[in-house]
């Protein structure tokens, strides 16, 4: 009796019976390569998207709702100091702070953006490199971020980003400050 043939069009090889598939070993391997190639391509596309988002944030270009969020610059308040930090997972990072730490604002960001914020508010440094004394400008900035990304404490650390506008709070902040000066 003739053993079963591969179901692949125009293939006349024996079925690789130990695979429990109606195809030969060559076509089974071809299928595996195709699946792996597809997964690699998707992975590469994801990495590229992530790199693009980081570059956008670091050069001040607005993110689109499709851009993946690489991490968050977060603002927490403990007593009368504000800490500005960076974390990929803010909810997890919050566990490192005492219970009286209040998460007051977040923005999509990177380590580089965090450093930029530290420099920007450098004149109000309270201690260390990341603890600041609240001032009008910092309060205003936190207000802007809350307008933009919502109150992070009320969201139980599940962060969403606005889908109806680009992620660029700087533009809003500039406008607010200009309005106040008028
Ligand atoms: Zn075959």
Centroid of ligand 1 to alpha carbon of 4 (angstroms): 11
Centroid of ligand 1 to alpha carbon of 15 (angstroms): 7
20: alpha, beta or left? (left if phi > 0; alpha if psi -120 to 50)? left
Please state, rounded to an integer, the average pLDDT across all residues of the chain.
83
Centroid of ligand 1 to alpha carbon of 38 (angstroms): 21
Predicted pLDDT at 3: 86
34 found inside a domain: yes
Centroid of ligand 1 to alpha carbon of 22 (angstroms): 9
Helices 111-120 & 25-59 angle (0-180, nearest 10): 10
**Whether residue 98 sits in one domain with residue 25:** no
86 found inside a domain: yes
**Whether residue 129 sits in one domain with residue 106:** yes
Question: Domain range for residue 120?
Answer: 72-181
Predicted pLDDT at 166: 52
Centroid of ligand 1 to alpha carbon of 170 (angstroms): 59
Predicted pLDDT at 170: 52
66 found inside a domain: no
1 found inside a domain: no
pLDDT at 26 over 80: yes
Predicted pLDDT at 143: 92
**Whether residue 85 sits in one domain with residue 51:** no
Binning pLDDT at 50, 70 and 90, where does residue 111 land?
A: very high
């Amino acid at each position: 009796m003739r053993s079963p043939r591969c179901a692949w069009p125009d293939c006349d090889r024996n079925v690789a019976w130990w695979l429990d598939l109606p195809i030969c070993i060559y076509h089974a391997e071809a299928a595996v390569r195709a699946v792996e190639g597809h997964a690699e391509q998707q992975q590469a596309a994801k990495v590229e998207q992530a790199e693009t988002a980081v570059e956008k944030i670091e050069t001040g270009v607005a993110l689109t709702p499709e851009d993946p969020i690489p991490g968050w610059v977060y603002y927490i308040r403990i007593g009368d100091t504000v800490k500005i930090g960076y974390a990929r997972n803010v909810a997890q990072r919050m566990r490192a702070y005492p219970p009286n730490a209040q998460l007051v604002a977040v923005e999509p960001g990177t380590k580089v953006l965090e450093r930029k914020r530290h420099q920007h508010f450098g004149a109000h440094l309270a201690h260390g490199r990341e603890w600041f004394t609240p001032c009008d400008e910092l309060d205003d900035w936190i207000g802007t971020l809350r307008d933009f990304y919502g109150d992070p404490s009320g969201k139980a650390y599940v962060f969403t980003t606005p889908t109806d506008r680009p992620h660029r709070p700087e533009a809003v902040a500039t406008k607010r400050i200009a309005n106040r000066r008028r």
